[in-house]
Amino acid sequence: MSMQCFLNSLIYVLVVSHGSKAFHGTTLLATANRDTSSVRTSVKSAATSEAEMTKSLEELIGLKNLMLLNKDEQTILELLVEKKGQQHLVADWPEAGIEDDEKKNFVQSLVRLDTSYVGGLGAYIDKARALLASSAAGKNPFADLDAELPEGESLGDSSEESFMNAEAEGLKAARRGVGFILVAGGLGERLGYQGIKLELPVDGLSGRTFLDMYREYIAALSARIGKILPLAIMTSDDTDARTRELIAEKDIQGCQVEIIKQDKVVALSDGDARIALDGKYKIATKPHGHGDVHSLMRSSGLARQWLDDYGLEYLFFFQDTNALVLHTVLPSLGVAQKRDFSMNSVCVPRRAGEAAGAIAKLVKKDEPPLVINVEYNQLDPLLKAGNGQGDINDPKSGFSPFPGNANVLVMKLKDYVQTIEGKDRGVVDEFVNPKYADETKTKFKKPTRLECMMQDYPILLRREVPSAKVGFTTFDRWIAFSPAKNDLVTARKLSAAGEPPSAAASTEFDVYKAHAIKALLYDKEDASYQTLGGISGLYAGPRLIFGPFFALTVSDLRTKISQPHKCHLDPNTALYLDGSNIKIDSITLKGDAAAIIINTRNDASLLIKDLVLEADEGLIFKDIPDDELSNAKPSDSIRGYITVNKPTLTINIDRPGTFLLTGTGQLSELEPDL
């Protein structure tokens, strides 16, 4: 069997619905280049008669209606109606002279949808029919496949030498150039928030939004390596305008921002891939998924520009509300460079059966392997078929050998450009997940659509760069993964069950915890927890935020806070530090004391020594009663508490010099050394 045949067999990857038996789900992937024109379901709409299906467009709508349309509009409508079985689109058109503007706007929307989808609407419908036919047939995509553990590296705790070495290697890789791609096309509806997620505050101490935090990190890295690094943000119709406003509201030097906007795709109403309508003259559309980022990086020209004009060597893909992701940037780059990975997936430990995708190597005799994300309910039956045991935890670690996919990707840019400029043009293989109305599997409960995921890129990579290596880097969860994605009700239920809440509140406190542990100011083995907003299991140690200019790496922290044993912070205290020229010799914070200390000047330095602060108010969190949640500020209501930030001490160095901060907050300027 040829490699292409093997890859085609791999691409039909079944995603089994939660709780269902193996291989009886309804989500499949399809190759972008598979000939699907002859694959049809046996379903025909009762609303479309045999006679109508053989009529030309002119016969269906009349010559005068046809003459309302320009050449492009006629072409797309003829394709859909005469060749793709979409006669229902014009079935209710009145004669010319009635609702002409509505007809014109309707067909113009079809032209836009045809143009925005690579290959056009004809290819979209063909692929949809093939996928829907396979879904209805319940095909087993894993016949004759085995799953093995791919090459990768576990970095463990940030205090370990392997972690710091990886950061050092990553900094070398960054000096060669790295571009960042942020996927941010979705609203915060799952969070219970109606705005864009990037505008949400990460924490109540610094007040930074997610977007500010990401941009500041890239700016700090740019300053460190002496090269301005780019950030591309993939938006959608839902998020584009507000994202642009948010960027304009704060000028952050050292981070060049580009916007690439994805379009929606047509929704499908039944097993014959009939285009769904949302009214007589409105096409129903749905998001296509974050896999669009690859085709957009090609069509925008950014990937090629970053390679040829900027001379970048790596890309770092990440999503919008995992605030811990920045801790993984440099070490994952370092591992990718050391192991020559063309793609490196950031992973976290996962327990067997945990509802999270895993990175696995799919193999077939005499064929090259494919390292890719496999859903948890695919992995277990696949392993059982191979080793008879399934997905089981390692007795020593307590975790599955197959790490959990955090959906954070490092790419080698040269291979990436070659791949997305190949015959698939960056279009990641799609899948369909219809919710069937009955056992015939011909009607849906609601319209479906084709979807794609950015982590399925290895399928394209193998087609264009067969020799490319794909692997993973595993980090402890506390330092790498705490997404804000669930609403308050869901977060409460998950925390009560002992599961990560993955909500705005847990993300905030996980950020505090990660900074404290990295700085050796909190022992994670002696952890204490609290309940806020009805969410249990939240970190209850000192609230620390270190801005990226203060410390990009663990080595930076060891230099800036060289004697952690001389730093004493009570559990309810808070400390926010930002600026490259700050060092701590000794500090004591008692009670609820909170300090915000900033020095962004390159011509000023600050030493904190024997600073002692004590207060009964500082950074305070107060529960919001459930009956008042609807009246609370949206960014508070999704957390379940309000934040009162009354710093005991605020220092912002505003002039050149050498400064000492000591006592109960006295700032003095020292004489320069002669």
pLDDT recorded at residue 50:
53
* CA-angle at 171, arms to 166 and 176, nearest 5°: 125
Q: How is the chain split into domains, by residue range?
A: 3-137, 146-480, 514-670
CA–CA gap between residue 127 and residue 130 (Å, rounded): 5
pLDDT tens digits for range 220-232: 999 999 999 999 9
pLDDT: which is higher, 288 or 135: 288
- pLDDT tens readout for residues 255-309: 999 999 999 999 999 999 999 999 999 999 999 999 999 999 999 999 999 999 9
Residue-level pLDDT at 2: 42
Q: What is the total residue count of the chain? A: 674
Average pLDDT value for residue range 47-73: 83
Task: Kindly state the average pLDDT of the residues 127-143.
Answer: 83
Residue in the block written with tokens 């890295």? 221
Q: Which residue has the higher pLDDT, 30 or 406?
A: 406
C-alpha distance from residue 364 to each of 10, 143, 150, 494, 501 (Å): 9, 10, 14, 38, 38
Q: Identify the band that residue 346 occupies on the pLDDT scale cut at 50, 70 and 90.
A: very high
Report the C-alpha gap between 483 and 28 in whole angstroms: 26
Residue 21 reports pLDDT greater than 70 = no
| Concatenated DSSP letters of 492-561 | HHHHHTTS---BHHHHHHHHHHHHHHHTTSS-GGG--EEEETTEEEEE-S-EEEE-TTT-SSHHHHHHHB
Token pair for residue 370? 């494919």
Q: Average the pLDDT over each of 125-129, 388-392, 480-484, 578-582 and give the range with the smallest value.
A: 388-392
Query: Tokens representing 653?
Result: 């160095």
Q: What angle do CA 520, 515, 216 make, to 5 degrees?
A: 140
Tokens of 612: 């002692």
Its pTM stands at 0.89
Q: How far apart are CA 346 and CA 343, in angstroms?
A: 10
The pLDDT tens digits for 570-609 are 999 999 999 999 999 999 999 999 999 999 999 999 999 9
Distance CA 571, CA 526 (A): 12
| Residues 84 and 122: beta-carbon distance below 8 Å | yes
Which pLDDT score is estimated for 52?
Answer: 58
Predicted pLDDT of residue 673: 62
Cβ neighbors of 82 (< 8 A, separation 6 or more) are: 56, 57
pLDDT at 114 over 90: yes
Closest to 209 (Cα-Cα) out of 43, 321, 133, 101 = 321
CA–CA dist 476, 484 (Å, integer): 18
- Of residues 8 and 477, the one with the higher pLDDT is 477
* CATH class, range 146-480: alpha beta
CATH of domain 514-670: 2.160.10.30
Q: Are 355 and 502 in contact (CB under 8 A)?
A: no
Burial of 540 (0-12, 13-18, 19+ CB in 10 A): middle
The amino acid present at 444, given as its one-letter code, is F
- pLDDT band with cut points at 50, 70 and 90 for residue 16: very low
**pLDDT computed for residue 366 by the predictor:** 80
Choose among 132, 134, 175: nearest CA to 312: 175
What is the residue-averaged pLDDT of the chain? 90
Residue 375 has pLDDT above 50, yes or no: yes
Residue 204 tokens, joined: 């109540």
Alpha carbon 225 to chain centroid, angstroms: 26
- Would the pLDDT of 8 be above 70? no
100/274 Cα distance (integer angstroms): 24
**pLDDT grade, residue 497 (50/70/90)?**
very high
**Are the folds of 146-480 and 514-670 the same?**
no
For the residues 329-355, what does the mean pLDDT come to? Answer: 95
Band (pLDDT 50/70/90 cuts) for residue 140 is: low
pLDDT at 409 over 70: yes
pLDDT in tens, 442-471: 889 999 999 999 999 999 999 999 999 999
pLDDT score at 441 = 87
Please enumerate in sequence order all residues whose Cβ is within 8 A of that of 248, keeping only pairs 6 or more positions apart, or say none: none
What per-residue confidence (pLDDT) applies to 654? 94
Give the span between the Cα atoms of 391 and 379, in whole angstroms.
7
Spell out the residues 6+ positions from residue 34 whose beta carbon is closer than 8 angstroms to its own. Answer: 8, 11, 127, 130
Alpha carbons 423 and 426: distance in angstroms, whole number: 8
Q: Which residue has the tokens 């692929």?
A: 127
**Does position 628 have pLDDT exceeding 70, yes or no?**
yes
Percent of the chain with pLDDT over 90: 80
- What value does the mean pLDDT take over residues 52-73? 91
Q: Would you place residue 169 in the very low, low, confident or very high pLDDT band (cuts 50, 70, 90)? A: very high
Query: Which residues touch 105 (CB under 8 Å, ≥6 apart)?
Result: 281
pLDDT score at 393:
93
Report the SS3 class of residue 339.
helix
* Nearest-5° Cα angle at 260, 310 to 293: 90
Residue 364 CB neighbours (<10 A): 17
Which residue spans within 424-485 are E strands per DSSP?
Answer: 430-432, 443-448, 450-451, 470-475
Q: What is the pLDDT of residue 399?
A: 93
CA-nearest of 116, 449, 458, 454 to 290 is 454
Q: Which of 80-89, 202-211, 363-372 has the lowest mean pLDDT?
A: 363-372
**Calpha distance 174→481 (Å, rounded):** 22
CA distance 272 to 45: 8
Distance CA(247)–CA(672), nearest Å, equals 39
For residues 521 and 564, is the Cβ–Cβ distance under 8 A?
Answer: yes
pLDDT attached to residue 1? 40
Q: Is 334 helix (H, G, I), strand (E, B) or coil?
A: helix
Which pLDDT belongs to residue 141? Answer: 67
pLDDT at 15 over 50: no
**What gap in Å lies between CA 447 and CA 265, rounded to an integer?**
12
Instruction: Return the exposure string of 21-49: e unless at least 16 CB atoms fall within 10 Å of the residue's CB, then b.
Output: ebbebbbbbbbbbbebeebbbebbbeebe
**Residue (of 123, 140, 147, 112) closest to 34 by Cα position:** 123
